[in-house]
Structure formats: C-alpha cells, structure tokens
Structure 1
Amino acid sequence: MKFIMAGLLASIGIATQAQDTKTEEPKGKAVVQVFGNFHTGLGAENDDRGFELERSYLGYEYKPGNGLSVKGVMDIGKSSDVSDYQRIAYIKNAMVSWETGNLTLNGGLISTTQFNFQEKFWGYRYIMKSFQDEYKFGSSADLGISAAYRFAGWISADAIIVNGEGYKKIQKNEGLNYGLGVTLTPVKGFQIRLYGGLNECGEEGKRDTGNFAAFAGYKHEKFTIGAEYNYMMNASYNEDADQSGYSIFASVNLPKEISLYVRFDDLYSKNDWNKVKDESAAILGIQFKLGEYVKIAPDFRMAMPKADGVKNSYSACINCYFGF
C-alpha cells in the first residue's frame, strides 16, 4: 500500500511539474490593429467627406515565463497639425510587465491609468475615443512605472509615475505626473472607478495640472451602460484654465454579432475661457462583427458647439476595424 501511495504521489508530482513547465513555455503574439472609416458631412457640411486611415497599431508581445512579458507597439497616425496630411509613426509602447499573485508591475513606455479603464468599458475605441482622450485631458501612454494590486475580489488599487509629456513628446519639463486610482466591484458586473492625478509643471509662472475622474458602469451579457465625470484644473499649466465634463454611453447586444450603441458628451470650461472649443456631442450607431477580426460600424453624429453664432453640425460615418 505504501508503495502504491508513493507511486501515486510521484505521478501527481511529475504531472504537476509537467503542467507547470507547459504553462511556463515562452510564447508571443503579434499586435495588429487598424482603424479606418468613410465619413461625410450632412447639410452645410456635405463637402467634408472621404476615406480615412485614422490609426494603425503594429507590434509584438512576448511572454518568456515566470509572469514576465515584454511589448513593443508602433502607433501610426495623423499629425495634430491640420495642414499636415502625412502619416506619422510613434513608439506607443516599449514596456516590461511582471505579474505575481495579485501584484502587477509595469515599466517603460507604458499605458497610463488615467482613462484606460473607461476606454475598455466603453469598448468602441476605433469609433470614438473615450471622453478624456477625445478632449485632451491626458495621454494614453507615457514613460514611467506603474503598479496595481488586487486586495480582494471587490477592490483593487493602482499607482503610476510618468513624465507627463505623453508618448509623442520628449521629456521637456522637470516635473512628473503622479496618479492614484481605486476600482470597486460591489456586485458582479457593476464597477466604480475613482482616479486623481497631479501633473507637475516644472516651469516658473505656471501651475500644476490636476485631473480627477469618477466612473460607474454596469456590464451584462445583453447590455452595457456607463457614466463618467471628469475635472481638469489648470489645463496646459495655465492658472484657472479649468475644464470639466461628463460622458454617458450605452450599448445593447443583439443576435448574430450585432450591437447598438449610443453616447452623449458634454464639455465645458470655467468662466467660458475655452468656449470656442466647448461642445456637446452625440453619436448613435450599430456595429456588425464579421468574423473574429473585423468590425464595421455605421453611425450618425451631431456636434453642438457652445461658441456664440456657431451652428450645430451633423455627419455620418462608417467605421472599420481589423485587429488581433
């Protein structure tokens, strides 16, 4: 009997070692995401139309084992200069990650935590950026380090320290950007996200920029709904140049890989200092999944500027996504 038990234990040990060895085998995957669209203005804006390759992400992620992973991604997009129609390539990610138990560490040119959670919850990045990204409240990637820890199934926290310049600029200022976030899951599907950040200016005569965000959303297999409020103090390091706004969105999953989505944004500035760019915006559309890697989403959009004498604008768009 002892020999049988010993044999069984030895077999279990060998099987466990084999399983561990299998899970620790190095593996990698390509990162390919392409965003394109055809858009046309409606009414007075009908001369603004055409096909557009908005953005491409090309890279590779490799996991050598022991919780380590390395990722490099190029971001090929358009210039912020409206007179520049050339494609510009940036390094979006060049990072190392390590996961052990409930702890995750990231270093290098990493994804920031300011609105990454909201972007994933929204789920339609190729159609429209999440609120903070759309209205330039912060950058989606930067050079630095971050850490996240799950204390329990219902609460996790994260901290980040980065340059504060984003991934498209070199470090110019002496200050750093600090951020703290907490994510709560009180019940299955319902999540709350709170975030606060301070971006040091490092220039005399300027002010530090503060970012604060609160998000709540519920995700079900049939539908998703979310709402966020955002506040930015001293935008572009300018005193009293505060901006705030909210975004509300929802989507419904229909049969045959079809979903409906709707979103409303409202951006405003303290004492109307940025009234020329303040606006409300709405989008309504439908998404079709064509297999595992392709999505097509036609939608209707309306922009309602808050500047005096500027009329509302309307447009239609067919968004296309390819990625794996």
Structure 2
Amino acid sequence: MRPLWCQKNESIGKMKTKKRVLCLLSIWMCTVGAAFADGAPEERAPGEKKGDAIITIFSDAHSGFGSVNDDRGFNLDRAYIGYQYALPHGLQLKAVLDFGQSKDVNDHQRIGYVKNAQITWKQNGWTLNAGLITTTQFKVQEDFWGKRYVMKSFQDEYKFGSSADLGVSVAYKFNKVVSADVIVANGEGYKKVQVKDGLQYGAGVTLTPVEGLTVRAYGSYNESVEEGEKGITNLAAFVGYKHTAFSVAAEYNYQTNTKYVPDCDQDGFSVYASAQLSKKISLFGRWDLLSSEKDWNKDADGMAGMVGTEFKLGKYIKLAPNFRLWSPKTEGGKTASYVYLNASFAI
C-alpha cells in the first residue's frame, strides 16, 4: 500500500475547458493529406503491391522455480491483425486490431482494441501521422531492443507511457545526423481513447553521428485535470550502437507524479545487448532496475535480468528460449527465477 501522503485524491474538481487543439490538428493533418493526394494518381509499375496484411502473434511457454514454482503454462501474449495501404504522393493508411490480456477480465480471456487507425504522409524528410497513432515516447528504444515478443521495452513494461494514442505527430529529418519529432496526444493510451480533457505534449531529438550509433533525448508533459492532481513529466535518454556482429544499448527513464499523484516519482535503467552468431542465431541479454522515490512503490520496485538465444526459423517465425530473474526491493522478498520459450509469428 502507498503511504497516505502519496494516495490519489479521488474527489473530482471542476473540469478544464474542453480542448480543441487536438481536433484542429487532426483536421489540419487530414486536409494536408487530401491536398497532396489530389490530382492525377501516380503511375504504378505492373504488379506493384499497394497494401500489406499485418498478422503478428506473440506467445510463450514458461515455468517458474522455487517460490514461483506454480507459475507455469502456455500463454498468448498478443495478437495483432491489420492492414496498411499505400496511396499516391507519400500517403499511407494503417489500421491494426490488438487482442491481449486485461486486468479487467479473467486471465483466460482476451480483449480486443483498435491499436492503430492512422493516416501517414512522408515527403522530403517530413513524416506526419494523425489518428490513433504509434507514440514517439519509446519507439526508438523498442525498435533497437527488437524483441518485443520476448519482453516489452522498459517504459512499456513498467507503464511509463503507452505505445499508441489518439493524436498528431510530426517528424523532420534535417540531415543524415539530426532528426526531431513532436507529438500532441490524449495521454490516456489506446485502451482509453479519451477519458479526461488533458493533453500530452512531447518532443524528441535523435542523433546518428556515425553509422550504427543512435543517441536520443525525449521529454513529455501530461496535463492534469482534477483537483489535487499534478501533471506527469517523462524524461528519457538513450544511446545505442548496432553493428552487423553485435549491438549494445542503455537508457535512463525518469517520471514525476506517476498516475497524477503529487511527489510519486520513479526512475529506472535498462541495458541490453546482443551478439550475432550466424544469420539465424543470436545471443541476447538485458538488465533492468526500477526504483521509486521514498519507496512509495517498493512492492513493484526491483531488478530484472535475462539471457537467451534467438533462432530465426525462416522468414516469419522466431523462437527465443531464455532464463529470467526478478529480485524485488521489498525487504524479505524472494528472488524469482523463470525459464521461458517465447515465440513470434509475423507476416
């Protein structure tokens, strides 16, 4: 349980004025897209594909040891089903359904959500997205980690933010070294498309000074709307290097006023690496550390580690047997160990 000074004030205050910024930006984005799409259609080569199906399934078999010996079985973590379609003049439409676990229902059931429903425009270094879009808060880290089917990237795993939300994002690549992006979103995630009137504002800068090296800094602010709440600030720093034979990366993440509760701050590190043994086989490892200020969330704080091997079976299937440890910060808490076999089926 959280200390009383850190519990959320549930009384609902006077709501802020209804926001129009997000709607206006979305309408502007669609208008821009329509303007560029207007006119004679682009010629396509005979047989050129215009669209692609999106079918992705994440599953696992796992077993705990010792104090978590009863935690074992088979699991369907995620199923994504969707379609993306390329239009003339750099436009693209994308819609994806997400079927996964929810704390709101029995563990054996799955709930479906619309994960993405977006229009994208790319031209001359610009990338614009509008609708239910992929957020930019930890997309670079997630792509670099590259093993979402094994474990989510740090901010996603420990609920620092959502991977998709209703909003508008704009990115621009200035040159081969510097790119920047901004996003305005609801801040509630794709499972709660709009609950409150607050908005989330974010901005990031990505540097690629040499081939294979990526450096990124990101910050966002999620407005509070109820009396007794405070806005959430997220700050993140990332650096990673990827070579044909190996990759290594580290990130630091800091969040203030978690779940809008004043002074409930938390932070954490994540370090991960991989080594390519052949075209089909690689080794990987990861270490996470999650901490809360003044131990307000000590029941969830702790250290996680994993090592594993990834096998690519053809074009569409990946298997990753791995060993994991979780060491809780709680006094007297027992270290939990697991063996997993994660699988990804994607086209």
**Is residue 121 of structure 2 the alignment partner of residue 59 of structure 1?**
no
> Which residue among 32, 37, 43 is the counterpart of 1:21?
43
Task: Give the equivalent residue in structure 2 for 1:123.
Answer: 146
**Is residue 193 of structure 2 the alignment partner of residue 170 of structure 1?**
yes
> Which residue among 224, 229, 232 is the counterpart of 1:201?
224
Distance in 1 separating the partners of 2:271 and 2:184: 29
**Is residue 334 of structure 2 the alignment partner of residue 311 of structure 1?**
yes
Task: Give the equivalent residue in structure 2 for 1:113.
Answer: 136
Task: Give the equivalent residue in structure 1 for 2:265.
Answer: 242
Distance in 2 separating the partners of 1:306 and 1:216: 27
- SS in structure 1 at match of 2:209: strand
Distance in 2 separating the partners of 1:134 and 1:82: 20
Distance in 1 separating the partners of 2:234 and 2:309: 32
Superposed CA offset, 1:50-76 (max 9, x none): 011110000000002210000000000
Using the TM superposition, give the Cα deviation of residue 136 of structure 1 relative to its aligned residue in structure 2, in angstroms: 0.1
Using the TM superposition, give the Cα deviation of residue 43 of structure 1 relative to its aligned residue in structure 2, in angstroms: 2.1
Using the TM superposition, give the Cα deviation of residue 264 of structure 1 relative to its aligned residue in structure 2, in angstroms: 0.1
Task: Give the equivalent residue in structure 2 for 1:40.
Answer: 63
**Is residue 242 of structure 2 the alignment partner of residue 219 of structure 1?**
yes
Normalized per residue, the structure richer in strand is: 1
- SS in structure 1 at match of 2:286: strand
Distance in 2 separating the partners of 1:23 and 1:140: 35
**Is residue 182 of structure 2 the alignment partner of residue 159 of structure 1?**
yes
Q: Using structure 2 for the length normalisation, give the TM-score.
A: 0.86
- SS in structure 2 at match of 1:157: strand
Contact 2:165/2:193 (8 A) holds in 1: no
Q: Give the number of aligned pairs.
A: 305
Using the TM superposition, give the Cα deviation of residue 150 of structure 1 relative to its aligned residue in structure 2, in angstroms: 0.3
Structure 1 residue identity aligned to 2:330:
A
Distance in 1 separating the partners of 2:320 and 2:281: 10
Structure 2 residue identity aligned to 1:89:
G
Task: Give the equivalent residue in structure 2 for 1:10.
Answer: none
- SS in structure 2 at match of 1:136: coil
Contact 1:162/1:176 (8 A) holds in 2: yes
Distance in 2 separating the partners of 1:168 and 1:57: 14
Contact 1:26/1:65 (8 A) holds in 2: no
- SS in structure 2 at match of 1:133: helix
Task: Give the equivalent residue in structure 1 for 2:252.
Answer: 229
Identity of aligned residues (%): 53
Q: Which has the higher contact order (CA 8 A, sep 6+)?
A: 2
Task: Give the equivalent residue in structure 1 for 2:311.
Answer: 288
Task: Give the equivalent residue in structure 2 for 1:180.
Answer: 203
Superposed CA offset, 1:257-298 (max 9, x none): 100000000000011110011010001000000000000000
Distance in 2 separating the partners of 1:192 and 1:170: 31
Structure 2 residue identity aligned to 1:74:
L
Using the TM superposition, give the Cα deviation of residue 80 of structure 1 relative to its aligned residue in structure 2, in angstroms: 2.4
Q: Using structure 1 for the length normalisation, give the TM-score.
A: 0.92
Structure 2 residue identity aligned to 1:169:
K
- SS in structure 2 at match of 1:307: coil
Using the TM superposition, give the Cα deviation of residue 255 of structure 1 relative to its aligned residue in structure 2, in angstroms: 1.5
- SS in structure 1 at match of 2:155: helix
